Amino acid sequence: MNDAHPIVSSEAEELILVDTDDNEAGFLSKAACHDGAGRLHRAFSLFLFNADGELLLQRRSASKRLWPGYWSNSICSHPRRGESMQIATERRLQDELNMKCELEFVYKFAYQADFGDSGSENELCHVYLGRTPFEVSPNEHEIDAIRFISAANLNREFAENPETLTPWFALEWQTLTTRYRDQLAAYIAL
């Protein structure tokens, strides 16, 4: 990967705390949001598909505090204090993959997942679908590797090697392939 990418995230950046109805409830550093059992904060997950209907997966950087080296959906991140979801998703598309695309909002949900003594995710996550351009340029500070995978092969991976995949990715994929199958079918062959 090209080492020319900037560092685009920090434990000090302020995230948006929310209640279970997704109403803003204050701000807290990313580090503090992920300490212990975590504090509920706004997040998003992007599922990006190529022209062949394959999902772009990323292997999270080994330097990540939570789930380093795990495979996950295309992009997962947070809006920062003062950012709308649209601005935040556009920023992370550029920051992580050096790309732009239209996104389709699908649903949002809350989850909490512990990663041992390192901390937890405690997020109200907005889930989006989109299409990748022909080429993407992963930022090595955020992503160790990328690959594209068909729905059938991804389902097999979840069945055979769930321990290599992030917990939110598993929850989101299950929901997308069951409750939002019609929306997902516009992007991928199921």
Which of 33, 76, 101, 125 is an active site residue? 76
Which of 14, 54, 96, 123 is an active site residue? 123
Q: Is 76 labeled as catalytic in the residue annotation? A: yes
Residue of 117, 125, 139 lying closest to 170 (CA atoms):
125
Q: Is 54 labeled as catalytic in the residue annotation? A: no
Q: Which residues are catalytic?
A: 76, 123
